[in-house]
Amino acid sequence: MSGVAATGAPFAGANIVVVDQTGATVCTTQTDSAGAYACALPASAKAPFVITAQRDDLTLYSTTASTTGGTANVSPLTTIIVSRLSPDGNPASLAGAIQANPGALTAASIQQQVTSLVAALQPLLSTLGQGTLDPVSGVFVADGTGPDKVLDAISVSVRPDGTAANIEITVKTVPATEGSAPVSITFRSSDSNTPTLPPIAAGDLAQVPSPAAVAALFDKVTACFALPLSQRVNAPNDTSAVTGTATDVIAPACRTMFVGDDPGTYYQNGSYVGRDSSNAGAFAGLFRPGTTGLKWDRGNFEHVRANGDLLLSYRTTDVSGNVDYDTIVARNVNGTLKLSGNGYTYAARVRPYSEHRELINTPDFSYYTTGYNVNIDNKTDGNGNSIFSQVVLTTPTGSTRVYLPTAGLSYLVAAKDDGVTPTSGSVFRLRGEYQNTATAGNPSDRESNLFFLSPQYSDAQISALNDQSVWKLEFVPVGGAVGNPGNVTQSYRTLSRAQSIGEIRQVAFVGLTAAMRSQLISASSATGSFVFGAPSQNDPNLIDFSADGNLDAWTVPQGALPPTSFTAYGRAPSPGPGQQGARFNDSTGVASQARSVVLRCSTQTVNDLHCDSSLGLQYAAGTSVNNFELWARTSRQLEVSKKVALYEFH
């Protein structure tokens, strides 16, 4: 058996596993740099076979009923086929289903699904000259030509929800405006008929870059960060971070990755390339020694912006093996991709958000929520006051929601329906459900300080949303008015939609170790929070999130994302009788292999009272913490949040 695994770009370095009808693993291997694999199947192997290709947080599937193995390519398209053949829509379930009933999967049943999928894609295939595509057994090379052009031109999502899978195929066309709806089809794996894509004009796909062009850009960025600090920028040594501007970027390998071979052309979220004393600036990592050796790869073209620039997703891996995923904006300059920045004035992000909030003191009220995290940085003046009076969010459906600055928080929060009362967070929640289905009611009944859409979306409504949805932000300055033509507006197109609660229930989250859970319950069950005492020189007030004896605080089950960020939420000391202290959020990065973390107090503004600097910066006496977050994001920019709440519901 042999084939090619690809998403458009070669699925290089993926672990290939082939399982036969008896459940036996008859091949394990890895794909090469071109995504190709080959297996010598043992004589005892029995068709049909299920093939998985796993890399990072993505698993692709394929299948064949050929008794001789033959060709079995693995791609997002073959994953759709396997999903349609699986009894519950989960591609991972097909191998078990074959063991139970080997006759359920035949060459004819596979071909039926191939024919159905090719018919659904026919408008695109015709435009690309690939009308006879055979995604499973056809000749395939992941080089941006032939059948690979089809994968380059689409993005695919397959989301099992326990009953079936929700499937979406989006074509990467050029939007007429920033708010243009995507060209896509959505359907259930259990649907008897598959919808067909609308006609696709050749010109709409003209700006799709080849995987080689995308890889070349990230190879160049990797080459820049491979240089020692003093060769990248003006620095006296390779061990101490420096401040500087775009003119201080001296290495040709670094300068040539930007438009015009000039870092000064890159503008992102109100910043040019550089680093100030607060570590602010676009590509500030160029000026820090800790980023030396940072590897940039897994580049993927996602969509075209209205101005013709391209949004690319990518992975970074540091020298310690810590991994993160993000996006960046590039421009096609005479066939070569160059970094350009998003051109926006303010820092903000809109990403789908899946949450498991564990109430450790009242576990029956632990719950799931889904929605979008509208994360707007709270930009402040020299006195610590926000420069925004509000930011108005316009959703893909045209509804609006006000976001407000709150003292002590680094981000704006959603307002309640009156537009003036702040909630406690930035997440635009579409739906919530208790983890225990026997618990009556809805989390929104008790979490009055969180924003939940009312009425909440059903899972069916969420499943019908597009992966690519456009959200608009209007930034209203202090003293300004909504709708003023001078207000800055910025648009954000998501890469994937919010998950339904049914889909979230299929996902693994990080979990507390038994020792850590017991320790937190012991410290918080009486009050629903942890309150710091007086600062100490010998035993400073910090958050040591580890079990006693410096043991692990959390575990990462198979399929779960290791957290890359840890946040503590709480309040500063009370300013007077009957008054609550200002809310705060403190965060720190977490290494991929870490299972515990230490968090130190950090001030948000000059008026911040939750920190005490009398004995070195630490938490002030009376500061309380009642919620922790272990956070990660997928390659599709889905935020995965595990909350550990100390407060109680009754």
pTM listed for this prediction: 0.95
Q: What is the pLDDT of residue 144?
A: 87
Average pLDDT for the chain:
96
3 φ/ψ angles, rounded to the nearest 5 degrees: 175, -170
Question: What pLDDT, on a 0 to 100 scale, did the predictor assign at position 67?
Answer: 84
With residue 127 as reference, give the H or E element that holds it: helix 107-128
Q: In whole angstroms, how far apart are CA 408 and each of 270, 420, 607, 625, 644? A: 22, 17, 8, 14, 21
**Count of CB atoms situated within 10 Å of the CB of 33:** 9
Tell me: pLDDT of 606 over 80: no
CA–chain centroid gap for 198, Å, is 29
pLDDT in tens, 539-588: 999 999 999 999 999 999 999 999 999 999 999 999 989 899 999 999 99
CA pair distance 602, 564, nearest whole angstrom: 18
Tell me what percent of the chain is helix, strand and coil, each rounded to the nearest 5.
Answer: 20, 35, 50
With CA atoms as reference, report the closest residue to 258 among 274, 280, 275: 274
Q: What is the mean pLDDT of residues 294-317?
A: 95
Region 582-600: what's the mean pLDDT? 95
The two beta strands, 639-645 and 348-359, are parallel
Confidence of residue 346 (pLDDT cuts 50, 70, 90): very high
Predicted local distance difference test score (pLDDT) of residue 13: 96
What average pLDDT does this structure show over 464-482?
Answer: 97
User: Is residue 517 over pLDDT 90?
Assistant: yes
pLDDT at position 383 is: 87
Continuous segment of H or E residues that includes residue 16: strand 15-19
DSSP conformation letters of 390-404: EEEEE-TTS-EEEEE
User: Token digits for 24?
Assistant: 């036996």
* Residue in the structure block whose two tokens are 């240089």: 227
Determine contact, residues 414/437, Cβ cutoff 8 Å.
no
At 544 the three-state DSSP class reads strand
The pLDDT tens digits for 23-62 are 999 999 999 999 999 999 999 999 999 999 999 999 999 9
For the chain, percent of residues with pLDDT exceeding 70:
100
pLDDT, mean of residues 457-481: 97
Distant-in-sequence, close-in-space partners of 487: CB < 8 Å, separation ≥ 6: 474, 475, 476, 477, 480
pLDDT band of residue 207 (cuts 50, 70, 90) is: confident
Q: What is the spatial distance between Cα 498 and Cα 215, in angstroms, rounded to a whole number?
A: 28
Query: Is the CATH code 3.20.20.70 the one for domain 2-168?
Result: no
Q: Assign 260 to helix, strand or coil.
A: helix
Closest C-alpha to 7, from 40, 28, 31:
31
Residue 483 and residue 474: Cα distance in Å, rounded? 8
Q: Which residue has the tokens 């995923």?
A: 325
Pull the structure tokens for residue 578: 């009957």
- The domain spans of the chain are 2-168, 211-339, 348-355+367-496, 511-645
